[in-house]
Protein backbone atom coordinates (compact mmCIF):
# COMPACT_ATOMS: atom_id res chain seq x y z
CA UNK A 1 0.00 0.00 0.00
CA UNK A 2 1.30 3.42 -0.96
CA UNK A 3 2.40 5.58 1.95
CA UNK A 4 0.19 8.71 1.72
CA UNK A 5 1.87 11.89 2.91
CA UNK A 6 0.16 13.86 5.64
CA UNK A 7 -1.14 17.24 4.52
CA UNK A 8 0.13 20.51 6.00
CA UNK A 9 -1.30 23.96 5.37
CA UNK A 10 0.28 27.32 6.15
CA UNK A 11 -0.11 30.91 5.01
CA UNK A 12 1.47 34.32 5.41
CA UNK A 13 -0.26 37.68 5.02
CA UNK A 14 1.23 39.79 2.21
CA UNK A 15 0.99 42.89 4.40
CA UNK A 16 4.70 43.58 4.64
CA UNK A 17 8.16 42.51 3.64
CA UNK A 18 9.82 39.28 4.78
CA UNK A 19 12.79 39.80 7.07
CA UNK A 20 15.78 37.91 8.41
CA UNK A 21 13.80 36.65 11.42
CA UNK A 22 11.25 35.02 9.09
CA UNK A 23 13.95 33.48 6.92
CA UNK A 24 16.22 32.09 9.64
CA UNK A 25 13.14 31.04 11.64
CA UNK A 26 10.34 28.80 10.28
CA UNK A 27 10.69 29.72 6.59
CA UNK A 28 14.17 28.19 6.51
CA UNK A 29 12.65 24.74 7.15
CA UNK A 30 9.77 24.91 4.69
CA UNK A 31 11.78 23.38 1.80
CA UNK A 32 12.43 20.35 4.05
CA UNK A 33 8.72 20.09 4.84
CA UNK A 34 7.69 19.79 1.18
CA UNK A 35 9.80 16.63 0.89
CA UNK A 36 8.09 15.06 3.91
CA UNK A 37 4.50 16.34 3.64
CA UNK A 38 1.79 17.22 1.11
CA UNK A 39 2.12 21.00 1.52
CA UNK A 40 -0.32 23.79 0.72
CA UNK A 41 1.13 27.31 1.12
CA UNK A 42 -1.03 30.35 0.48
CA UNK A 43 -0.82 34.13 0.51
CA UNK A 44 -3.50 35.22 2.98
CA UNK A 45 -4.75 38.35 1.23
CA UNK A 46 -8.31 37.99 2.62
CA UNK A 47 -6.95 38.19 6.16
CA UNK A 48 -4.81 41.19 5.22
CA UNK A 49 -7.75 43.54 4.57
CA UNK A 50 -8.95 43.41 8.20
CA UNK A 51 -6.49 46.32 8.40
CA UNK A 52 -6.77 49.03 5.73
CA UNK A 53 -4.43 48.49 2.78
CA UNK A 54 -3.41 50.55 -0.25
CA UNK A 55 -4.80 48.43 -3.14
CA UNK A 56 -1.89 48.88 -5.55
CA UNK A 57 0.61 48.19 -2.76
CA UNK A 58 -1.24 45.03 -1.68
CA UNK A 59 -1.10 43.67 -5.23
CA UNK A 60 2.61 44.48 -5.44
CA UNK A 61 3.37 42.88 -2.06
CA UNK A 62 1.38 39.74 -2.92
CA UNK A 63 3.42 39.17 -6.06
CA UNK A 64 6.68 39.97 -4.22
CA UNK A 65 5.85 37.46 -1.47
CA UNK A 66 5.09 34.75 -4.02
CA UNK A 67 8.48 35.39 -5.67
CA UNK A 68 10.22 35.23 -2.28
CA UNK A 69 8.47 31.96 -1.41
CA UNK A 70 9.89 30.41 -4.59
CA UNK A 71 13.32 32.01 -4.09
CA UNK A 72 13.42 30.59 -0.54
CA UNK A 73 13.14 27.07 -1.95
CA UNK A 74 9.43 26.33 -2.25
CA UNK A 75 9.31 24.39 -5.51
CA UNK A 76 5.86 24.91 -7.15
CA UNK A 77 6.17 21.41 -8.63
CA UNK A 78 6.43 19.87 -5.16
CA UNK A 79 3.83 21.91 -3.26
CA UNK A 80 0.68 23.92 -3.93
CA UNK A 81 1.32 27.69 -3.94
CA UNK A 82 -1.74 29.89 -4.29
CA UNK A 83 -3.45 33.16 -3.38
CA UNK A 84 -6.27 32.81 -0.84
CA UNK A 85 -8.78 35.08 -2.63
CA UNK A 86 -8.38 33.04 -5.83
CA UNK A 87 -10.17 30.09 -4.17
CA UNK A 88 -13.71 31.35 -3.32
CA UNK A 89 -14.44 28.20 -1.28
CA UNK A 90 -12.45 29.72 1.64
CA UNK A 91 -14.98 32.53 2.06
CA UNK A 92 -17.96 30.30 1.30
CA UNK A 93 -17.01 27.79 3.99
CA UNK A 94 -16.20 30.60 6.43
CA UNK A 95 -19.81 31.83 6.27
CA UNK A 96 -21.16 28.36 7.08
CA UNK A 97 -18.68 27.95 9.95
CA UNK A 98 -19.67 31.39 11.31
CA UNK A 99 -23.06 29.83 11.98
CA UNK A 100 -21.43 27.09 14.08
CA UNK A 101 -19.09 29.36 16.05
CA UNK A 102 -20.14 30.96 19.31
CA UNK A 103 -19.85 34.69 19.96
CA UNK A 104 -18.20 33.98 23.31
CA UNK A 105 -15.47 31.89 21.68
CA UNK A 106 -14.49 34.72 19.37
CA UNK A 107 -14.63 37.37 22.08
CA UNK A 108 -11.99 35.45 24.06
CA UNK A 109 -9.43 35.48 21.23
CA UNK A 110 -6.37 37.39 22.42
CA UNK A 111 -5.31 38.55 18.95
CA UNK A 112 -8.66 40.33 18.47
CA UNK A 113 -7.98 42.31 21.64
CA UNK A 114 -4.41 43.09 20.55
CA UNK A 115 -5.35 44.16 17.02
CA UNK A 116 -8.33 46.19 18.26
CA UNK A 117 -5.99 48.15 20.52
CA UNK A 118 -3.63 48.84 17.60
CA UNK A 119 -6.44 49.76 15.17
CA UNK A 120 -8.91 51.58 17.43
CA UNK A 121 -10.34 53.56 14.50
CA UNK A 122 -11.17 50.40 12.49
CA UNK A 123 -12.52 47.65 14.77
CA UNK A 124 -14.45 45.86 12.03
CA UNK A 125 -16.45 42.61 12.03
CA UNK A 126 -13.77 40.91 9.88
CA UNK A 127 -11.23 41.49 12.65
CA UNK A 128 -13.60 39.77 15.07
CA UNK A 129 -14.50 36.78 12.87
CA UNK A 130 -11.15 36.18 11.17
CA UNK A 131 -10.42 33.08 13.34
CA UNK A 132 -13.42 31.50 11.57
CA UNK A 133 -11.88 32.27 8.17
CA UNK A 134 -8.63 30.82 9.49
CA UNK A 135 -10.52 27.65 10.49
CA UNK A 136 -12.05 27.52 7.00
CA UNK A 137 -8.58 27.87 5.44
CA UNK A 138 -7.49 24.76 7.31
CA UNK A 139 -10.62 22.60 7.20
CA UNK A 140 -11.38 23.17 3.50
CA UNK A 141 -8.21 21.18 2.64
CA UNK A 142 -8.73 18.47 5.25
CA UNK A 143 -5.28 19.35 6.62
CA UNK A 144 -3.73 16.87 9.05
CA UNK A 145 -1.45 19.46 10.64
CA UNK A 146 -0.91 23.20 10.90
CA UNK A 147 2.53 24.67 11.74
CA UNK A 148 2.09 26.97 14.72
CA UNK A 149 4.05 29.32 16.90
CA UNK A 150 2.92 30.13 20.44
CA UNK A 151 0.88 33.13 19.21
CA UNK A 152 -1.12 30.92 16.81
CA UNK A 153 -1.90 27.98 19.09
CA UNK A 154 -5.24 29.50 20.16
CA UNK A 155 -6.39 29.63 16.52
CA UNK A 156 -5.75 25.93 16.00
CA UNK A 157 -7.70 25.19 19.19
CA UNK A 158 -10.77 27.12 18.03
CA UNK A 159 -10.47 25.44 14.61
CA UNK A 160 -10.52 22.04 16.32
CA UNK A 161 -13.52 23.10 18.44
CA UNK A 162 -15.48 24.21 15.36
CA UNK A 163 -14.60 21.01 13.46
CA UNK A 164 -15.60 18.78 16.39
CA UNK A 165 -18.87 20.69 16.86
CA UNK A 166 -19.77 20.36 13.15
CA UNK A 167 -18.74 16.69 13.06
CA UNK A 168 -20.81 16.06 16.20
CA UNK A 169 -23.91 17.22 14.34
CA UNK A 170 -23.28 15.88 10.82
CA UNK A 171 -20.79 13.03 11.14
CA UNK A 172 -17.14 12.93 10.10
CA UNK A 173 -17.10 15.81 7.62
CA UNK A 174 -13.83 17.47 8.64
CA UNK A 175 -10.47 16.05 9.56
CA UNK A 176 -9.61 17.56 12.96
CA UNK A 177 -6.12 19.08 12.56
CA UNK A 178 -3.25 18.75 14.97
CA UNK A 179 -0.82 21.58 15.73
CA UNK A 180 2.56 20.89 14.13
CA UNK A 181 5.40 22.26 16.19
CA UNK A 182 7.65 23.19 13.32
CA UNK A 183 11.40 23.56 13.61
CA UNK A 184 11.68 27.20 14.51
CA UNK A 185 15.31 27.69 13.54
CA UNK A 186 17.05 30.63 15.11
CA UNK A 187 14.99 33.02 17.23
CA UNK A 188 16.25 36.30 15.83
CA UNK A 189 15.84 39.50 17.83
CA UNK A 190 15.78 43.09 16.60
CA UNK A 191 19.12 44.81 16.04
CA UNK A 192 17.95 48.02 17.75
CA UNK A 193 15.95 46.33 20.54
CA UNK A 194 17.47 42.87 21.16
CA UNK A 195 15.03 42.08 23.99
CA UNK A 196 12.18 41.59 21.46
CA UNK A 197 11.96 39.49 18.30
CA UNK A 198 12.84 41.14 14.99
CA UNK A 199 9.78 42.93 13.63
CA UNK A 200 8.90 45.00 10.56
CA UNK A 201 7.22 47.47 12.96
CA UNK A 202 10.75 48.51 14.02
CA UNK A 203 12.39 48.94 10.60
CA UNK A 204 15.69 50.37 11.92
CA UNK A 205 16.42 47.09 13.69
CA UNK A 206 14.90 44.83 11.05
CA UNK A 207 16.86 43.35 8.12
CA UNK A 208 14.55 42.84 5.15
CA UNK A 209 15.34 40.05 2.68
CA UNK A 210 15.38 42.32 -0.36
CA UNK A 211 17.36 45.18 1.17
CA UNK A 212 20.44 46.55 -0.55
CA UNK A 213 23.76 45.26 0.88
CA UNK A 214 24.82 48.76 1.97
CA UNK A 215 21.58 49.21 3.94
CA UNK A 216 22.07 45.84 5.64
CA UNK A 217 25.62 46.78 6.63
CA UNK A 218 24.44 50.14 7.96
CA UNK A 219 21.92 48.42 10.24
CA UNK A 220 24.50 45.98 11.60
CA UNK A 221 26.94 48.83 12.18
CA UNK A 222 24.31 50.51 14.38
CA UNK A 223 23.27 47.27 16.15
CA UNK A 224 22.92 47.61 19.92
CA UNK A 225 25.66 45.86 21.92
CA UNK A 226 27.06 46.80 25.37
CA UNK A 227 30.12 48.36 26.99
CA UNK A 228 31.80 45.04 27.85
CA UNK A 229 33.60 44.70 24.47
CA UNK A 230 33.82 40.89 24.64
CA UNK A 231 32.09 38.61 22.12
CA UNK A 232 30.42 36.09 24.41
CA UNK A 233 27.07 34.27 24.24
CA UNK A 234 25.07 35.29 27.32
CA UNK A 235 21.47 36.23 26.40
CA UNK A 236 20.60 37.50 29.89
CA UNK A 237 23.61 39.76 30.41
CA UNK A 238 24.50 40.48 26.76
CA UNK A 239 21.29 40.30 24.66
CA UNK A 240 22.59 42.40 21.76
CA UNK A 241 25.89 40.56 21.34
CA UNK A 242 24.19 37.17 21.85
CA UNK A 243 21.69 38.02 19.11
CA UNK A 244 24.52 38.88 16.70
CA UNK A 245 26.28 35.60 17.58
CA UNK A 246 23.07 33.70 16.86
CA UNK A 247 22.65 35.46 13.50
CA UNK A 248 26.28 34.78 12.55
CA UNK A 249 25.95 31.12 13.60
CA UNK A 250 22.77 30.68 11.53
CA UNK A 251 24.32 32.41 8.51
CA UNK A 252 27.62 30.48 8.56
CA UNK A 253 26.90 27.20 10.36
CA UNK A 254 29.61 27.96 12.95
CA UNK A 255 29.13 27.03 16.61
CA UNK A 256 28.85 29.65 19.35
CA UNK A 257 32.16 28.44 20.79
CA UNK A 258 33.95 28.81 17.46
CA UNK A 259 32.57 32.34 17.07
CA UNK A 260 33.70 33.33 20.56
CA UNK A 261 37.19 32.02 19.77
CA UNK A 262 37.25 33.77 16.37
CA UNK A 263 36.56 37.18 17.94
CA UNK A 264 38.54 36.77 21.15
CA UNK A 265 40.34 40.07 21.75
CA UNK A 266 38.71 41.77 18.73
CA UNK A 267 36.39 44.77 19.02
CA UNK A 268 32.66 45.01 18.38
CA UNK A 269 33.18 47.10 15.23
CA UNK A 270 35.06 44.25 13.54
CA UNK A 271 32.50 41.72 14.81
CA UNK A 272 29.46 43.67 13.56
CA UNK A 273 31.01 44.18 10.13
CA UNK A 274 31.78 40.45 9.82
CA UNK A 275 28.21 39.52 10.80
CA UNK A 276 26.85 42.05 8.31
CA UNK A 277 29.06 40.62 5.54
CA UNK A 278 27.83 37.08 6.30
CA UNK A 279 24.17 38.15 6.16
CA UNK A 280 24.70 40.04 2.89
CA UNK A 281 26.19 36.90 1.32
CA UNK A 282 23.45 34.69 2.79
CA UNK A 283 20.71 36.87 1.31
CA UNK A 284 22.41 37.74 -2.00
CA UNK A 285 21.22 34.68 -4.00
CA UNK A 286 17.75 34.99 -2.51
CA UNK A 287 17.50 38.69 -3.45
CA UNK A 288 18.86 38.09 -6.97
CA UNK A 289 16.47 35.18 -7.58
CA UNK A 290 13.50 37.20 -6.30
CA UNK A 291 14.40 40.08 -8.63
CA UNK A 292 14.71 37.65 -11.54
CA UNK A 293 11.29 36.15 -10.79
CA UNK A 294 9.62 39.56 -10.39
CA UNK A 295 10.90 40.48 -13.85
CA UNK A 296 8.98 37.49 -15.24
CA UNK A 297 5.37 38.35 -14.36
CA UNK A 298 4.02 35.77 -16.83
CA UNK A 299 5.79 32.96 -14.97
CA UNK A 300 4.50 34.10 -11.56
CA UNK A 301 1.00 34.40 -13.00
CA UNK A 302 1.20 30.83 -14.31
CA UNK A 303 2.27 29.63 -10.84
CA UNK A 304 -0.55 31.28 -8.89
CA UNK A 305 -3.18 30.33 -11.48
CA UNK A 306 -2.06 26.71 -11.54
CA UNK A 307 -1.87 26.69 -7.73
CA UNK A 308 -5.41 28.05 -7.42
CA UNK A 309 -6.74 25.36 -9.78
CA UNK A 310 -5.04 22.59 -7.80
CA UNK A 311 -6.22 24.04 -4.48
CA UNK A 312 -9.79 24.53 -5.73
CA UNK A 313 -10.06 20.85 -6.74
CA UNK A 314 -9.60 19.84 -3.11
CA UNK A 315 -11.47 22.78 -1.58
CA UNK A 316 -14.58 22.41 -3.74
CA UNK A 317 -14.95 18.73 -2.79
CA UNK A 318 -15.06 19.67 0.89
CA UNK A 319 -17.43 22.58 0.28
CA UNK A 320 -19.87 20.39 -1.69
CA UNK A 321 -19.92 17.89 1.16
CA UNK A 322 -20.58 20.66 3.71
CA UNK A 323 -23.35 22.23 1.62
CA UNK A 324 -25.09 18.87 1.30
CA UNK A 325 -24.83 18.21 5.05
CA UNK A 326 -26.38 21.56 6.06
CA UNK A 327 -29.25 21.14 3.60
CA UNK A 328 -28.42 23.35 0.61
CA UNK A 329 -29.87 22.28 -2.75
CA UNK A 330 -27.23 21.17 -5.23
CA UNK A 331 -26.73 23.47 -8.23
> How far is Cα of residue 16 from the mean position of the Cα atoms in its chain?
11
CA distance 68 to 78: 16
Please say if 197 is a catalytic residue.
Answer: yes
Pairing label, strands 80-83, 178-180? unpaired
Q: Given 5, 60, 189, 200, which residue is catalytic?
A: 200
Q: Given 115, 175, 254, 325, which residue is catalytic?
A: 115
CA-wise closest residue to 268 among 298, 216, 210, 223: 223
Buried b (16+ CB within 10 A) or exposed e, 309-322: ebbbebbeebbeeb
Instruction: Please say whether the beta carbons of 8 and 40 come within 8 A.
Output: yes
Strand, coil or helix: 18: coil
CA distance 320 to 331: 10
Q: What is the edge-to-edge ordering of all strands in the sheet holding 178-180? A: 80-83, 38-43, 7-12, 145-147, 178-180
CA-wise closest residue to 161 among 213, 218, 102: 102
Please say if 219 is a catalytic residue.
Answer: no
Q: Given 175, 197, 254, 325, which residue is catalytic?
A: 197
CA-wise closest residue to 50 among 118, 151, 144: 118
Q: Which residues are catalytic?
A: 115, 197, 200
Amino acid sequence: MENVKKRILSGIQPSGRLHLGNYLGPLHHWPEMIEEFDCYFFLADLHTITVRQTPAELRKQTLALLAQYIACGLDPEKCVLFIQSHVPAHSQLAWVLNCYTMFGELSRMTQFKDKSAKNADNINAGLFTYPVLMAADILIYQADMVPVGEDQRQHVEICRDIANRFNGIYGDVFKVPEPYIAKVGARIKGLSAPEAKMSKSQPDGCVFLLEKPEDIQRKFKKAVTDSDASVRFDPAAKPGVSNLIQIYAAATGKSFEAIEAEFDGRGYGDFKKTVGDAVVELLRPLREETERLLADKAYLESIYRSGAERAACVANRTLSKVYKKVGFLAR
